[in-house]
């Protein structure tokens, strides 16, 4: 698997009490969405404070730092860089001061018209300190605020200029706001606990701070908390929603519910449909940690082949897809995953993974199972073939780097040294989210881009 996670955003408003520590817990729950950098910004008596750095949440923040971030509002961000280098300057939240006051922005997604907007605003005198599209969003909101009466209206006025994916949390000196692009590419939800309001990329982050799920932010909606009350505005006309379907397959935590659909339930169905499409005689079903595990259980339940833990994952090893060459990737896979010989030795094994992109990490996994004594390896993928890049915040590489573009299923199977290979069909992929209240973007599998 070589898909990078999305970013995670979090925001909290309390009439009384500090918010930085709650944001810290919220970011812990969202750490799977980005491990490169993180940050927290707070407002206390109209004063904005911020701390951010490269690294994991537990490394960047100490008790002493959190104690200094006093405030009744806070927003947080954990970052994976889809645009902009992985440097401290690009960490979020982004903060700025302008004639109307202070502003902090945290963003999940990716704009497709960043360069055009940067050129336009450079000629207007804007100075950009990072190379992220998130800073462009902050500048446009600030510019629009100069021409209207409220920050929420400024965000609404900025939306027509922003083409692409963005779920954002914004903090002014008096208001906590959240907004989702009109297509709803990236998830964003609302939670509440008494007079405390929370915005988060996933519902699992609400659970971490004791907030109850209220609803998802609607595509194109701006919501905000002011004086302890939740408010909302929507544009009059909205396009068809296009949530990234890979949120269910890979990005989100299994215990999250996104736009009405349980992530866990979606992955179970993916495994079920894989078993129906590609049955095989085998002795055990295993999943590739973490995102292949639930689909493997679904395959086992449908096929009645026993499920077992085929790998032990070392959670302290850096992700394999950032390694510069194949030999380094293979060594990283060995450090990250260790096969359970007692489970696979002498067995016909069905292996479930969420996707194949380049194939560079899948082949070492198959090799590990061979070395552990598996007699047959039947690879099943809980998504269709990747045939196109993504421009909305998922780091799917250029088309020529996608293994399925240049090779047939039979060729891929032989290249990976598997005994058989099956990809979930596009038809069954769309059936994995029966309770979803939205439509989906599946352009990486179909080349049908919403924008």
**Start-to-end Cα distance in the chain:** 26
Burial of 230 (C-beta count, 10 Å sphere; 0-12/13-18/19+): middle
Residue entry with tokens 């005198």:
125
122: enclosing H helix or E strand? helix 114-123
Strands (E), 86-208: 94-98, 101-111, 164-171, 176-180, 189-193, 196-200
DSSP letter assigned to residue 430: G
C-alpha span between 64 and 435 (Å, rounded): 44
Task: Please name which of 318, 382, 397, 310 lies closest in space to residue 352, comparing C-alpha atoms.
Answer: 382
**Residues with catalytic function:** 7
Note the helical H segments in 147-306.
151-158, 203-208, 246, 263-277, 293-303
The answer for residues whose C-beta is within 8 angstroms of residue 133's C-beta and 6 or more apart is 83, 84, 107, 110, 111, 114, 164
Cβ-proximal residues to 400 (8 Å cutoff; 6+ apart), any chain: 406
């Amino acid at each position: 698997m070589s898909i990078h996670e999305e970013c995670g955003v979090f925001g909290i408003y309390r009439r009384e009490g500090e918010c930085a520590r709650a944001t810290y817990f919220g970011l812990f729950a969202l750490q799977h969405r980005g491990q490169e950098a993180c940050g927290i910004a707070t407002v206390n008596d109209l004063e904005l404070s911020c701390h951010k750095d490269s690294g994991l949440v537990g490394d960047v923040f100490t008790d002493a730092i959190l104690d200094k971030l006093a405030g009744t509002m806070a927003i947080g961000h954990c970052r994976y860089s889809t645009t902009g280098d992985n440097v401290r300057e690009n960490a979020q939240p982004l903060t700025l001061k302008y004639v109307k006051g202070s502003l902090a922005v945290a963003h999940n997604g990716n704009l497709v018209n960043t360069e055009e907007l940067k050129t336009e605003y450079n000629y207007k005198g804007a100075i950009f300190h990072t190379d992220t599209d998130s800073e462009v969003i902050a500048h446009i909101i600030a510019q629009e605020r100069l021409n209207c009466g409220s920050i929420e209206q400024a965000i609404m006025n900025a939306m027509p200029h922003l083409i692409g994916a963005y779920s954002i949390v914004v903090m002014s000196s008096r208001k906590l706001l959240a907004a989702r692009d009109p297509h709803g590419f990236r998830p964003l939800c609302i939670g509440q606990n008494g007079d405390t309001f929370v915005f988060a990329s996933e519902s699992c982050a609400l659970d971490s701070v004791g907030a109850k799920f209220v609803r998802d932010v609607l595509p194109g909606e701006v919501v905000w908390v002011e004086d302890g009350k939740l408010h909302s505005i929507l544009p009059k006309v909205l396009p068809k929603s296009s949530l990234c379907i890979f949120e269910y397959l890979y990005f989100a935590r299994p215990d999250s519910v996104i736009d009405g659909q349980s992530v866990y339930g979606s992955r179970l169905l993916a495994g079920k449909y894989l078993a129906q499409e590609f049955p095989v005689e085998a002795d055990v079903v295993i999943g590739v940690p973490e995102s292949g595990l639930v689909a493997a259980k679904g395959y086992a339940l449908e096929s009645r082949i026993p499920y077992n833990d085929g790998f032990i994952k070392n959670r302290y090893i850096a992700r394999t897809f950032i390694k510069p060459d194949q030999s380094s990737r293979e060594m990283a896979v060995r450090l990250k995953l260790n096969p359970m010989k007692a489970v696979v030795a002498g067995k016909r094994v069905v292996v479930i993974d969420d996707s194949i992109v380049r194939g560079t990490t899948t082949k070492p996994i198959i090799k590990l199972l061979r070395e552990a004594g598996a007699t047959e390896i039947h690879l099943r993928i809980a998504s269709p073939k990747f045939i196109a890049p993504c421009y909305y915040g998922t780091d799917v590489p250029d088309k020529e780097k996608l293994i399925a573009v240049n090779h047939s299923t039979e060729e891929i199977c032989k290249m990976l040294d598997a005994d058989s290979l099956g990809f979930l069909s596009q038809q069954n992929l769309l059936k994995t989210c029966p309770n979803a209240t939205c439509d989906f973007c599946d352009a990486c599998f179909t080349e049908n881009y919403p924008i």
